[in-house]
Structure 1
């Protein structure tokens, strides 16, 4: 045969899916929560701090509260800073960053759909997209201003290139090369190495990729990626050879060695605890695909690619002493692709159980979101209203008829989606993904201002600024991360320097209710916390000379 037709395309059953329904589902899931709130811990202060420093002139080296940080490439931060400048203040910097993350997540979904189409067959790309939307780990991280969304898009583009080569080798080379370059310049060289190892092992291990077209793809992809991957290191070297050494130690070796000197198995326990819920419900279905391979054979390209990608990415994670949940994002791609390959072969009982569990879980959660909002607005029932006041103390949110109408429309859309009759496996996944989209969109529509009231630091920074002396040198920090120090600079335009600094006459201390004053001669000027936060307390101290105190 002169043309390649995936086996699954011949065997895939005819479905009655509507492309516009999938597009609507993606919009309902992706858009809420992108704009309209301040940076939230734990991830966004890091991102916003770096971008804010770039706007102040530190374009070449990502900096956080005056300290160089090398674990993330600069491209995502640079793009956000440029876009924020172009928009001219129409959107806040943190909103621009989150909008850019949403664009990269949309690219992830698009490429993942293409991977499913190429490796499994027609009408299976949408299954991969639905599985991605349903993964619990992508709900929050997919709506967060982090560079890992861009890195994940690089992985997805590269994987799409590895699957497209038999039909369009030029497009495959572009996707693989640019995807690897994007991962390197938004993540680290570690991510690019993982991509190239997977791309190189495919023809070594499996005959499907042992093809002249794939060889051309590899060659041209390297030619395209090499200049883009070398731009930043070359600019660092031109600025200072010492910076290139710092980049090599922090960006390249940082993911392997961390702060230690020996290679070890890192935070394996963290990933074993996190991955099951992070990739739910795709992971158990992917495990079933491996078991089902006894009957369908293990020589299928989708299974070979997914297993190899899973093993290489997982090996890169467990060999790193730096454990973060956003490092699991690329792992979702092969898990969802593998799970999509057996969605139509799921046991009827298992599919029915997942469908029932999804409808009941998200139906009850959506009802609770509605009841809480109604109680907050009307005071009925009073027990739930008091609970809302306790969670968001001091917050006043006016009633909006548009919030009510849009929320009702979203709920009606979910009821329509879960009541449609489809193949049981696809219906179960659609019900789960629709429930995720409903609850997330309702939460962001009805409760976003209240959540921002308790999670944001803008009120706390404004309160602290009122207690600042008329003149001071700078503000040092104690028991506070560089991310938080950068966030205070961003919200208040303050001269907060991370860590101890003898030249600073003010000190910002993060602690608990039990006050532990800094050692030396300091007097407290201010104390505060976020609304409703009973654990974290912030205190501002000013240095004084003991001789100046009159008894």
Structure 2
């Protein structure tokens, strides 16, 4: 009994430390945090939460579930924290749900395949998912997609409990469809719904009449999520409903507008080796041992993974973030077969990961020492951080030292308590690397990425009681400017702000036929001279 408690607690410790960067105190960073925070900030300022707004202007790119959650965290739960910190905790909340429900689903699938210890599959799934590069690269930021990840994990758990609890399965499935819809629109529930319809073809337990009842319950459970907000939006403004539903959902998927990243043929196959690492290592190992049975042991997860990658490949926009929900299904698929992973594979993978752990820790500590104590690397680092003069953060240094000792001990002793030492040690690599970077190098990173000093400098030249027009200001910059200065802008691009006595411009172009303005200040960020900002006053 003590052995089980020990190894589970060690896994839990690594998973808890995975969230270390999510609690790191830093400003919102581009590309996504800035404009998402701007939307969340608007919700904290008003009581009507129907229409997402960015700097006082409707912004219909995404449904509002994540914005509601983050604003609720800020207004009602973590009222003493800055809005951006509360929003980051909302993202961490959804990531935690993703880990929990993915692990529960894998445990259920393992139990169905008569595994000796289903809990081993559950813990391995959480460890693999937390260690997947595609998730760890996106999981520590303010992203609406974090709620979509959770919806896929909940849907997989719903599939896994169907044979035992058809009613609960339907309720969970409908909730997952609804969450996916109110997070990103049609793509998420499309993938989940299609997987639910095709599942009886590939897996025998779902060919029962009870499954039809489960799907019916799921549909009823999803309807409130699907209908209430869109119906209220349509009643309030058919134009905004059209912009959201047709332009930002179907139009983006079909490539009928210029929204989103450009389509790249074979994009998801190209990123798969690193984006799904280390899951991609486990796939050939399990396939070699079980052939087609590798697809049957967790058929819903395998189907959802392959289906999501296929549907994404048909879309006319491509972005690595879009593939993370498929990674959630991939982790459940691989983790559910934990007992089949050869010990020799885990030992070799674990040895490589242990070497990488030592190297990554040494590199980050060396970079920190160089930055603050003048080691040879300092000049190269300061080349990317001109003007950086932050004092040494002793609290960050002590917490990083504690993190190094704890994670190294867990990884070094992994063979004594973890059968899957390779997955555990790889997770330790990422926990150590991200944790040290967000402890030791956070001041430099924040100095490089933050817009706060520049925005406050520009605002010091402006009168907050007067209207402010803008030209060329991107959605990220609008969100940042409003959050830091509390000033909303009136965009010339959409025919507003012509009567404003003040003007904020991003770039060097000046709008035509706006009258005479005198320059008050022109500036750039210290680490990015290509982005020029200026403020003007009407003569």
CA distance in 2, matches of 1:469, 1:241: 36
Q: Does 1:236 align with 2:227?
A: no
2-side partners of 1:125 and 1:56: how far apart?
41
Going from structure 1 to structure 2, the CA distance change for 1:126 and 1:391 (only over 3 Å counts) comes to: same
Cα deviation for residue 339 of structure 1 reads: 2.6
Supply the distance in 1 between the matched residues of 2:509 and 2:35 (Cα, whole angstroms). 26
SS at match of 1:253: helix
Q: In the TM superposition, what are the counterparts of 1:359-378 in structure 2 within 5 Å?
A: 359-378=354-373
1:26 aligns with 2:20: no
| Aligned equivalents of 1:470, 1:437: Cα separation in 2 | 43
Structure 1 match to 2:121: 124
Aligned: 1:81 with 2:64: no
Cα distance in 2 for residues equivalent to 1:17 and 1:169: 35
Give 1:408's aligned residue: 401
- Distance, in Å, in 1 between the alignment partners of 2:78 and 2:336 is 46
Whole-angstrom distance in 1 between the partners of 2:274 and 2:532: 31
- Which residue, out of 188, 203, 210, partners 2:185? 188
Once residues 212 and 78 of structure 2 are traced to their aligned partners in structure 1, the CA distance between those partners, rounded to angstroms, is: 46
Given that 1:529 and 1:537 are in contact with CA atoms closer than 8 Å, whether structure 2 keeps it comes out as: yes
Asked whether 1:317 is paired with 2:307, we answer no
Q: Counterpart of 2:23 in 1: which secondary structure?
A: coil
Aligned counterparts, 1:344-359, within 5 A: 345-346=340-341, 350-359=345-354
User: Of 172, 177, 185, which aligns to 2:169?
Assistant: 172
Please report the TM-score for the alignment, with normalisation by the length of structure 1.
0.86
Pick from 504, 508, 513: which aligns with 1:508?
504
Task: Go from structure 1 to structure 2 and tell me whether the alpha carbon gap of 1:369 and 1:103 turns closer, same or farther (over 3 Å shift).
Answer: same
Distance 1:241 1:127, change over 3 A: same
1:297 aligns with 2:293: yes
Deviation by residue 1:509-544 (Cα, 9 ceiling, x = unmatched): 334xxx556656555332222232243332334455
Equivalent-residue separation in structure 2 for 1:251 and 1:211 (angstroms): 38
Aligned CA distance change for structure 1 residues 423 and 347 (closer, same or farther; 3 Å): farther
Say whether the 8 Å CA contact 1:286–1:338 is kept in structure 2.
Answer: no
Q: Distance in 2 between matches of 1:102 and 1:291?
A: 36
User: Is the CA contact (8 Å cut-off) linking 1:35 and 1:98 kept in structure 2?
Assistant: no
The one-character-per-residue Cα deviations of 1:23-81 (angstroms, maximum 9, x if unpaired) are 11111011333351111001111211111222343621212244433332112112222
Q: Given the superposition, is the C-alpha separation of residues 271 and 68 from structure 1 closer, same or farther in structure 2, using an over 3 Å criterion? A: farther
Aligned equivalent of 1:525: 520
Show structure 2 runs of 5+ residues with no match.
112-117
Measure the CA separation in 1 of the matches of 2:370 and 2:450. 23
In structure 2, what is the equivalent of residue 141 of structure 1?
138
SS at match of 1:529: strand
Match of 1:211 among 190, 204, 208: 208
Distance in 1 (CA, whole Å) between partners of 2:482 and 2:295 is 56
Structure 1 residue 170: Cα displacement = 3.2
1:452-531 equivalence runs, <5 A: 452-468=446-462, 473-478=467-472, 480-498=473-491, 500=493, 501=495, 503=498, 504-511=500-507, 523-531=518-526
- 1:431-470 correspondence runs (5 A): 431-468=425-462
Q: Does structure 2 retain, via aligned residues, the 8 Å contact 1:458–1:491?
A: yes
Matched position secondary structure for 2:378: helix
- Equivalent runs, 1:252-401 vs 2, <5 Å: 252-260=249-257, 266-294=263-291, 297=293, 300-302=296-298, 304-341=299-336, 343=338, 345-346=340-341, 350-379=345-374, 381=375, 383-401=376-394
Contact map agreement 2:14 2:431 (CA 8 A) in 1: yes
Q: Does 1:72 align with 2:62?
A: yes
8 A Cα contact 2:266 2:313, kept in partner? no
Residue ranges of structure 1 left out of the alignment (5+ in a row): 1-13, 545-551
Q: 1:425 to 1:250 in 2, by over 3 A?
A: farther
**Deviation larger for 140-149 or 285-294:** 285-294
CA distance in 1, matches of 2:383, 2:79: 35
CA distance in 2, matches of 1:340, 1:471: 58
SS at match of 2:441: helix
Q: CA deviation at 1:327?
A: 1.4
Distance change in 2, residues 1:280/1:286 (3 Å): same
| Alpha-carbon displacement from aligned partner over 1:245-270 (angstroms, at most 9, x marks no partner) | 34431354244234449xxx944444
2:173 & 2:35 partners in 1: Cα distance?
A: 29
Looking at structure 2, the residues matched to 378 and 48 of structure 1 have their Cα atoms a distance apart, in angstroms, of: 35
| 1:317-350, Cα deviation, whole Å (9 max, x unpaired) | 1232233332112111121123325555456665
Indicate the residue corresponding to 1:101 in structure 2.
91
Distance 1:169 1:31, change over 3 A: farther
Shift, 1:202, TM fit = 0.5
| Post-superposition offset of 1:145 | 0.9
Distance 1:70 1:495, change over 3 A: closer
Distance 1:498 1:24 in 2: 49
Q: 2:50 aligns with which of 38, 51, 60?
A: 60
Aligned position for 2:115: none
Alpha-carbon separation, structure 1, partners of 2:236 and 2:256: 25
